[in-house]
A = this chain, B = another copy of it.
Amino acid sequence: MIRTPDWVKHAVFYQIFPDRFARSGRVPVKDGLSLKPWGAPPHEQGFQGGDLYGIVDRLDFLDELGVTALYLNPIFASAANHRYHTYDYENVDPLLGGNEALRELLDEAHDRGIRVVLDGVFNHASRGFWPFHHVLENGGNSPYIDWFNIHDWPLNPYAPDADTPHNYDAWADLPALPELNTDNDEVRAYIMRIARKWIEFGVDGWRLDVPYEIEDSDFWREFRKVVKEANPEAYIVGEIWHEAEEWLQGDQFDAVMNYPFLWPTLSFFGSETLRDYKKTHLTFEPLDAPDFADAITDVFEMYDWEITQAQLNLLDSHDMGRALWIMGEDTDALRLSVLFQMTVPGAPCIYYGDEIGMSAGDDPHCREAFPWDEHDTWDEDLLEHYRNAVALRHDHEVLRTGSIDIFYAEESVIGFRRELDDTVAICLFNAGPSSAVIDLDAEDVGVPLRRYESAWPEGDAPLDLDDGLVTTTLPAQSARIWT
């Protein structure tokens, strides 16, 4: 029987790119270093100096937003500002405050009931990773030669030109990213030790970077075993951009990053304003309600219900343009997308800064510094909307773990029912630019004949289904939810 952590089903996540979220001034080592100014244009290289104490300083802000879990992009020692190029899995990057800073973040977050999930990059390390350095210095005399798949000698990770390419397995053929030889027992043991170590340290789960590159189900079964032994409630969520059934049989991951959730969502709610934007595995093209209903039903029915409830439902991430940007700066479309995200199964994940209206294209642009000191750039109304939408989810268990059925999908309007024991929620979204008049029949909706109170907008008129039939009007780009 498949089991996923209950807390995830009730969580609202917030994704943080650590170099750009908040700078604390509490990491002394940075005093004398040449960092880029906070808010500098985000380039492929350059460090703006966000750190984990900075996150601690903003936990109250996140708590107020309703966040109950953080997903942090990689934090282990790395020479890349995104830190996907690990050189030391045992230590949090010094620029982020080191292991002490993670200790404080975990303690402070847990005190507020906020969990913390780390990014685990186990397919490849960096050419600065110590065993790779060891092989580079010693060649065949290094005892670590079997930690990598080396084609010939001498090792050539810093090729001066294209005539002398790297000669070892590297992720995406990038010389900077030597792949770990996970067929080697010692390498496996090393990764499993790292996986266990940080869970035992207090981390609440792992988001796994490019796990499909380790084509070895036994590896991931062992990984799950190790992690769940350390903490049965730890969350394991893989970065898979497409259908991921092979990893979601209950013996490998709890869930995946739900990219298949975001493209129909943004395509439907942003259908009037979508940019011409492409991304592998994601298709952004205007969708009407019937097509959206089909696509999103697939998403919710693709896996076991236990998995579906634990999916990480995102609208964007560090690896793509921001949702607001993709939807052509249409804030109303973003509002509806967020509200939709908060009313369907799966843990919503907010990409840092989306809630104040940050908008930017593909990475590295979408990795901007959070403008804490420039409040005039914040969309305070949007922020308030996020808080309300998150609060709505927290207030209604039925929106989190209730079953979902779409009972209406015409033109630009979609309607669905959430149901948990004796509780139901009736949700209507109008993505279109004009108001829509909808006839509701309790039988079609699948709910008992009674009166339903408005949950969104708060204080709005109730839905009177005592007689089984009612006609309701949805303004352009609006939603109504009754329970």
Q: Are A32 and B141 in contact (CB under 8 A)?
A: no
Q: Are B143 and A137 in contact (CB under 8 A)?
A: no
Q: Are A32 and B77 in contact (CB under 8 A)?
A: no
Please give me the residue from chain B that is nearest to A187 by CB atom: B32
Q: Give the bracket for the number of chain A residues in contact with chain B.
A: 35 or more
Among the listed stretches A87-95, A291-299, A473-481, which one makes contact with chain B, having 4 or more residues with CB under 8 Å of it? A87-95
B31, B87, B186, B190: the one contacting A133 at CB < 8 Å is: B87
| Nearest CB in chain B: distance from A33 CB, A | 4
Q: A45–B153 Cα gap in the complex (Å)?
A: 16
A80 within 8 A of B: yes
B34, B47, B133, B176: the one contacting A79 at CB < 8 Å is: B133
Residues of B within 8 Å of A29, CB to CB, are 186, 189-190
Q: Are A87 and B32 in contact (CB under 8 A)?
A: no
Q: Are B77 and A130 in contact (CB under 8 A)?
A: yes
Q: Are B31 and A141 in contact (CB under 8 A)?
A: no
B33, B79, B160: the one contacting A160 at CB < 8 Å is: B160
Residues of A167-183 at the interface with B, using a CB-CB cut-off of 8 Å, are 176
Among A127, A141, A176, max chain B CB count under 10 A is at A141
B30, B31, B185: the one contacting A32 at CB < 8 Å is: B185
Task: Please judge, given known A-B contacts A28-B189, A143-B34, A190-B29, whether A137 and B133 are in contact too, CB under 8 Å.
Answer: no
A85 within 8 A of B: yes
Q: A91–B141 Cα gap in the complex (Å)?
A: 22
Please give me the residue from chain B that is nearest to A49 by CB atom: B143
Please give me the residue from chain B that is nearest to A45 by CB atom: B141
Q: Are B85 and A31 in contact (CB under 8 A)?
A: no
Residues of B within 8 Å of A85, CB to CB, are 137
A251 within 8 A of B: no
Q: Are B34 and A145 in contact (CB under 8 A)?
A: yes
A2 within 8 A of B: no
Residues of A77-111 at the interface with B, using a CB-CB cut-off of 8 Å, are 77, 79-80, 85, 87-88, 90-91, 95
A46 within 8 A of B: yes
A361 within 8 A of B: no
Residues of A124-141 at the interface with B, using a CB-CB cut-off of 8 Å, are 126-128, 130, 133-134, 136-139, 141
Please give me the residue from chain B that is nearest to A141 by CB atom: B45
Please give me the residue from chain B that is nearest to A99 by CB atom: B90
Q: Provide the A49-78 mask, 1 if CB < 8 A to any CB of B, else 0.
A: 100000000000000000000000000010
Residues of A252-306 at the interface with B, using a CB-CB cut-off of 8 Å, are none
A363 within 8 A of B: no
Q: A138–B45 Cα gap in the complex (Å)?
A: 6
Task: Please judge, given known A-B contacts A32-B184, A190-B29, whether A79 and B146 are in contact too, CB under 8 Å.
Answer: no
A144 within 8 A of B: yes
Q: Can you list 20 A-B contacts with CB-CB less than 8 angstroms, sorted by A residue number? A: A33-B143, A33-B144, A34-B143, A34-B145, A34-B146, A35-B143, A45-B139, A45-B141, A77-B130, A79-B133, A87-B133, A128-B133, A128-B136, A128-B137, A133-B133, A136-B158, A137-B176, A157-B158, A158-B158, A160-B160
Extra 20 A-B pairs, beta carbons < 8 Å, given A79-B130, A157-B158? A32-B184, A33-B143, A33-B144, A34-B142, A34-B143, A34-B145, A43-B141, A45-B138, A45-B139, A45-B141, A47-B141, A49-B143, A79-B134, A79-B137, A79-B138, A85-B137, A128-B128, A128-B130, A128-B134, A128-B137
